[in-house]
Structure 1
Amino acid sequence: MTTYVVTIPGTLLAERTEATIKTLENALRPADPRGTQLGEAEHLEMLTFYSGSSAFSIRLEVEADDTKAAEQQARQTVSAALRTAGYSQDQAPLGDATITGITE
């Protein structure tokens, strides 16, 4: 198994509150990339909202056999976390997942 850092962009089309963001961060916490050497060295933030917009990116650490499986697992994790925070797929559409780091 290989450790991947996967970045997934998205747009939040529903209201964003401190409570929903905290719930989202807590749901994502087990996959926080700061736990990897790459994440620690690069000071990667798990959740980033871009100023003045509803666009965001989420960076996750996943263990997988290959890049396709890593991207798929990351997308499932992000989708589940968004649902936990109360956002439907229509309220928080996601872009393409990108591998932004690999450690073995």
Structure 2
Amino acid sequence: MTTYVITVPGTFVNGVDDAARSDVERRLRPRDPKNTDLGESEELSLLTVEEGGMFSARIEVEASDQASAEAEAVQLISRALRDSGFPEKDAPLGPAFVTGIDREF
């Protein structure tokens, strides 16, 4: 298995307040890339929100290949958003991509 840091971009269509943002971050915290060597050295943020609602979520995923890691990341982030009150239409996601590969074991 390989540990990947995956970035998934998206947009909060109607914006996001601090409480909702904190809730999304709390749900993703177990997958925080700062727990990896890459995340720590690159100072990767779990969730970055830009003016206008565009965001990037970066999480750590263990998978056997890149495609599986990207698919799992999208599922985890979608679930965190949905559980925080953001249905897909209010926080659509873009394509996931590998930010880095931390280690193989």
Q: TM-score, normalised by structure 1?
A: 0.96
Unpaired stretches in structure 2, ≥5 consecutive residues: none
Q: Which one-letter code corresponds to 2:95 in the other structure?
A: D
Aligned-residue offset at 1:78: 0.3
Matched, 1:72 2:88: no
The superposition leaves residues 45-90 of structure 1 with CA deviations (integer Å, 9 ceiling, x where unpaired) of 010012x211000000000000000000000000000011100000
2:101 aligns with 102
Cα distance in 2, alignment partners of residues 99 and 35 from structure 1:
16
2:39 is aligned to 39
Compute the displacement of 1:101 (Å).
0.3
Query: Which residue in 1 is equivalent to 2:28?
Result: 28
Question: How many matched pairs?
Answer: 103
- Specify every segment of 5 or more residues in structure 1 that has no aligned partner in the other structure, as ranges: none
Contact 2:15 2:53 in 1 (8 A): no
